A and B are shown apart, each in its own frame.
Chain A
């Protein structure tokens, strides 16, 4: 294990974990070494601590109103009634398995796949440069992600032009728009220290992400 380098700034989110006591000994030592060399960070750390669950006084004062026992009894009775009720028959269409060739269309599965793709921010296959073809147009479309479902966790330099913003070429696919995306932190590349550039706001050529062709059945 290398000794902590007080000059190298730890990832800022480590302060949250430090305030919550969630770091291992090595990471804790690294953060403490950096804090000792950078007293100006005490303000940030203090804020993280005051909004941690250690601040019992604050959370007690802001506690939700406690339901009366009668309200709890009503909820329990309704839970029991719901569990005792026979399951309602489902429409045949809802229970039948989708055709194998179309299975990837199911929103929940695709949403998970898309979410994973967004988290990994690496979509290696792009559609033809000249836009949707007749083949693309033949595929049914459906909403896969609302703006609230999209969270960009990190961004690599190479992927900056592919940030998930802009209008979809398939009109009923709502992605987040540029106005709905807030870049909170861009981490410099470890190799060259360069900070990736975010996309330009607005304009007709806002970059967008396409469903990877590789996901097709």
Chain B
């Protein structure tokens, strides 16, 4: 997995709280630094939920705008990252519902692609990165929304069970259950590439 987490905070790296205070004081650089810190994670979450780069960037934009215009609602019961990713995932799911037609068209295209053999061979897996990503996107799209969101927040956003539970307002047991059944379903669809 490509690691896109925030860089480790050294004494010279301002904390999120410090950046948020500076942002609240109107400092433009604070926004830019927060954006650079979390744009990658936010994008990965949105992409996995939408399967489309431009839509994912729209969801990232919407998520940052909503998070920063509603900072008053951020009670600091969890990390800013957790709170932001919750909002981004909400934005992505809302966008996905609004753009259902695009999804339908994409799925149709994917279905026709499936009839064709993989375009490139990879000695290790037999599929190239684009094919693998497409298979994963399709498999994730087939999951119930709650399972997909939980899975993406844990695997792609690298949130712990506790952080996912905080982000979604659910129990850790529910996180556990959703991940178990999500993987069980993904296993069926990805068996060939995972060599299960």
Residues of A within 8 A of B (CB): 12-17, 20, 22, 43-44, 46-48, 50-53, 55-56, 58-65, 67, 71-72, 75-76, 78-80, 82-83, 87, 119, 148, 151, 153, 184-185
Contacts and interface: CB of A to CB of B under 8 A. Distances in A.
A45 to B, nearest CB: 11
Interface stretch (B11-19, B64-72, B103-111): B64-72
B129 A12 contact: no
B1 A60 contact: yes
Among A75, A79, A83, A184, residue most surrounded by chain B Cβ atoms (within 10 Å): A79
Given A48-B183, A65-B53, A82 B65 contact: yes
Given A17-B161, A79-B31, A80-B28, A51 B154 contact: no
Contacts of A185: 181
A59 B154 CA distance: 13
Interface of A is mostly: helix
A64 B64 contact: no
Contact of A62 (B132, B145, B179): B132
Contact of B180 (A16, A60, A64, A148): A16
Interface stretch (B43-51, B75-83, B112-120): B43-51
A79 B174 CA distance: 34
A52 B155 contact: yes
Contacts of A80: 28, 31
Mostly, the B contact residues are helix
Chain B interface bracket (under 10, 10 to 19, 20 to 34, 35 or more): 35 or more
B35 A13 contact: no
Interchain residue pairs A-B with the least CB separation, the first 6:
A59-B1, A16-B180, A13-B180, A64-B47, A47-B187, A51-B183
Contacts of B194: 47, 50-51, 58
B133 interface: yes
Nearest to B42: A75
Interface string B70-100: 0000000000000000000000000000000
B7 to A, nearest CB: 16
B161 A148 contact: no
A53 B154 contact: yes
Given A22-B176, A53-B158, A78-B61, A62 B129 contact: yes
Contacts of B196: 43, 46-47, 50
A80 B136 CA distance: 33
Contact of B39 (A17, A72, A151): A72
13 contacts: A14-B176, A46-B196, A47-B196, A50-B196, A53-B1, A63-B44, A64-B47, A65-B53, A79-B35, A82-B61, A83-B31, A83-B68, A153-B174
B65 A79 contact: yes
Given A13-B173, A63-B1, A153-B177, 11 more contacts: A16-B176, A20-B179, A22-B161, A50-B187, A60-B1, A62-B133, A72-B39, A79-B35, A80-B28, A80-B31, A87-B69
A119 B170 CA distance: 10
B180 A48 contact: yes
A62 B136 contact: yes
A67 B176 contact: no
Given A51-B190, A64-B47, A65-B53, A22 B145 contact: no
A15 B144 contact: no
Contact of A64 (B31, B48, B61, B135): B48
Interface string B14-48: 00000000000000100110010001000110011
Contacts of B180: 12-13, 15-16, 48
